[in-house]
Amino acid sequence: MRILLIEDDTVLGGAVRDQIAGDGQSVDWVLRLDHAVDAMATAVYDLVLLDLMLPDGQGIGFLKRLRAQGDVTPVIILTALDQISDRIVGLNAGADDYLVKPFDLAELSARIGSVARRYAGNPNPIVTHGALDIDLAARNIHRDGRPVKLTAREWALFEAFLSRPGQLLSKAQLEDKLYAFDAEIGSNTIEVHVSRLRKKLGADLIRTERGLGYRLGTP
């Protein structure tokens, strides 16, 4: 997934960013709402982590505007506001989850995974695809009963295919999943990573649609 983190606390923001990257997700981190607006105008995000108290405004107003515009991107609120009334306001504004600071980073990872699975239409963290047994929560894969280890980039791409089974994904869409990783994306980056996924998980796992993109193969 590609995640937008909106958080002005640099210590917490850095810790959250590192946690998300360590989970194999890509993350863009901004400290202000106006920067968040710019980011969402130029990239497609799978999930937003939103602080409520920001230097240039209230996160609730930002969330309400998103929903009023018809934007259904999942949003998890991260805030020090811990009253029941605050939670109700956040959820009624359109948040998908609400996490009170200070929170455990492992719990944040679990909540991100839970929200992502709900939006993908598969709330069950255990997925079977042919010879593959996939634990989305733990990010573990077994092929014919044997564990398979993916790099963070490989997992990001594989997760993109899993979340859209059978759908065609363009090269640009797949590149978008990798932009927040530090390494440069070359012209053949997607081809290289797709080839590695096929070697690790099965030659027929990902089908190439010439000139169009790739799609997850039928089990």
CATH code: domain of residue 100: 3.40.50.2300
What would the pLDDT profile of 94-140 be if each residue is shown by its tens digit?
999 999 999 999 999 999 988 887 776 555 667 788 899 988 767 78
Dihedral sign, Cα of residue 185, residue 187, residue 190, residue 192: negative
Is 52 in the same domain as 114?
A: yes
CATH code of 138's domain: 1.10.10.10
% of residues, the chain, pLDDT over 90: 53
Domain ends where: 63, 88, 119? 119
Q: What is the dihedral of CA 132, 133, 136, 138, to 10 degrees?
A: -120
Q: Which of 13-22, 75-84, 163-172, 193-202 has the lowest mean pLDDT?
A: 163-172
What would the pLDDT profile of 148-160 be if each residue is shown by its tens digit?
999 888 888 888 8
Is 74 in the same domain as 92?
A: yes
Cα(193)–Cα(185) distance, rounded to whole angstroms? 11
Is 180 in the same domain as 134?
A: yes
Q: Number of folded domains in the chain?
A: 2
Task: Note the pLDDT of residue 153.
Answer: 84
Could you count the other beta carbons within 10 Å of the beta carbon of residue 6? 26
More reliable by pLDDT, 139 or 205: 205
Q: Which of 10-14, 25-29, 48-52, 144-148 has the lowest mean pLDDT?
A: 25-29
Domain ends where: 79, 104, 119? 119
The one-letter code for the residue type at 24 is G
Could you count the other beta carbons within 10 Å of the beta carbon of residue 84? 7
Is 105 in the same domain as 202?
A: no
Is 134 in the same domain as 95?
A: no
Is 132 in the same domain as 104?
A: no
Task: List the Cα angle 8/18/119 in 5-degree steps.
Answer: 85
Q: Supply the pTM of this predicted model.
A: 0.67
Q: Looking up tokens 């009624």, which residue turns up?
A: 92
